[in-house]
Amino acid sequence: MAYGTPKGPEEVEAYYTDIRGGRPPPADLLDELKSRYAAIGGRSPLLEITTAQARGIEERLGVRAYLGQKHAAPFIDDAVANMAADGVETAAGLVLAPHFSTMSVADYEGRARAAAERAGWKGSLTVIPSWHLEPGYISWLGERVVEARDSLARPCREAATIVFSAHSLPERILERGDPYPDQLSATAGAVAAQVGLQRWMVGWQSAGRTEQRWLGPDILEVMDSLSKAGAKGVVVCPCGFVADHLEVLYDLDIEAKAAADKLGLAFARTRSPNADPQFLDVVAAIVARPLNAA
């Protein structure tokens, strides 16, 4: 299961409306979102990448993988309906986000189970709650951090701060004891320990445009603070994401990079997992456990 993305400019309004619970976006916000997609070439590669990830699981495990998205076709309802039509009896649900939140993984699971009721599917579904400390994922991230850090010029490389980021969520999740921030910190700490990082921290990105407070500090605020403290370089590891999409290709590669340039900070980002074979080996192993236990 994945968040979804519009296939092109003509779908942006419908996509944004779905995100807003059926409320059409104001013209200024719609234009801004369209301009962001235009800045990364007109569309996000997320659907193709997510499809490749699903195919990678199929190839490694010899099972059928069904892709369901939250805000764009193929929707979660479509995936579950297809499972029901195909007579699937046992399924493992994997949300393509390593960290659990009631607003992410729990929401996806709820949508899948509601879809199963609507489709009359009586099969067994086990949803994987999180995999933020999966050893293979931590190792993969560690290699990417070293790779990105080494891409900086030597003076900046040696003094660079690594910022581990994930998509911000409304602060109200903390009132229910949501483990999302702690799991992000755990991932960051595990990678830092593996690589032996001396300068690292957690930051948040891509907060929604609402009046409520969102988890912080924002990545742009982090870089400003680092610059004021005399830092020379920053490496962003968006470990809360597993694919290139708008939040990576625009929010980091364009917006955060521009802010770093303005502050005089050398900037690098770790590359995304996408359909990297090593990463797909890790994800396939995660999926195999509940399937083998069924």
Indicate the residue type of 18: D
Average pLDDT over residues 139-161: 95
pLDDT value at residue 158:
84
Q: Three-class SS of residue 167?
A: strand
Domain ranges of the chain: 135-269
DSSP secondary structure letter of residue 174: G
DSSP secondary structure letter of residue 256: I
Residue 210: pLDDT above 90?
no
Q: Is 76 exposed, middle or buried (0-12, 13-18, 19+ CB in 10 A)?
A: buried
Contact yes or no for 12/6 (Cβ under 8 A): yes
Contact yes or no for 131/109 (Cβ under 8 A): no
pLDDT value at residue 173:
96
Q: Does the domain at residues 135-269 carry the CATH identifier 3.50.50.60?
A: no
Name the band, by pLDDT with cuts 50, 70 and 90, for residue 167: very high
Contact yes or no for 215/181 (Cβ under 8 A): yes
Residue 40: pLDDT above 90?
yes
Average pLDDT over residues 172-180: 96
pLDDT value at residue 294:
79
pLDDT value at residue 123:
95
